[in-house]
Amino acid sequence: MQKRHHEGKTKRTRFHAMVSGVMAAALLLVGQFASAHENGHGSHDAQGVIELSGVMARATKPGMSTSAAYMVIRNASDEAVTIESVDSPVAKKTELHTTTKKDGMMKMQRVDNLEILPGQEVQLKPGGYHVMLMGLKNPITNGSEVPVTVTFSNGEKQTVKAHAMENIKGQHMAHH
């Protein structure tokens, strides 16, 4: 009988040791995730760090093969981020552009990346930085939604829906 009592005690001791080990491992993992999240290295740390708002796209007129998308991008993180790429399924080619004035002429040129400093807000708007949608697969109709994906240097990738409008304040270059 004593042997049986001893075996029961040994099984309980092993069970308690196993539960304690599992609990310790779980606490360690939770602590590491919380620490990584606080230090900006967690898997969900990018969400909400970059805010995209006021997203709109220019509706096209018959025969137009290009359009543009505009938005406000706010870097709410404490580190600079760079827009590394832009993409949209409505166009064969999507690029980040800026508009410059040279010799009295407005000229657009591709921008390979755009740095946004901590706390900074950058406006993609007519006459400045904007997303060029080239080789449109279909016309962009007034009131439709245009998906635009922006990829940042911190690994964050956001897809937003740009509301298509015929008249956008500051939009005077109808043929990009």
Instruction: Please write down the long-range contacts of 21-28, taking CB distance under 8 Å and 24 or more positions apart.
Output: none
Residue 9 per-residue DSSP state: H
pLDDT computed for residue 48 by the predictor: 57
> Which pTM value belongs to this model?
0.69
Burial class (CB in 10 A: 0-12, 13-18, 19+), 4: exposed
Which pLDDT value is given to residue 2? 54
The list of the chain residues with pLDDT below 50 reads 15-47, 173-176
pLDDT value for 103: 87
What is the per-residue pLDDT for 169? 75
pLDDT confidence of residue 107: 87
pLDDT of residue 171: 63
| Per-residue confidence (pLDDT) for residue 28, from 0 to 100 | 37
Rounded Cα gap, residues 34 and 8, in angstroms: 39
Could you tell me which residues come within 8 angstroms of residue 170 by beta carbon, excluding any fewer than 6 positions away?
Answer: 125, 126, 127
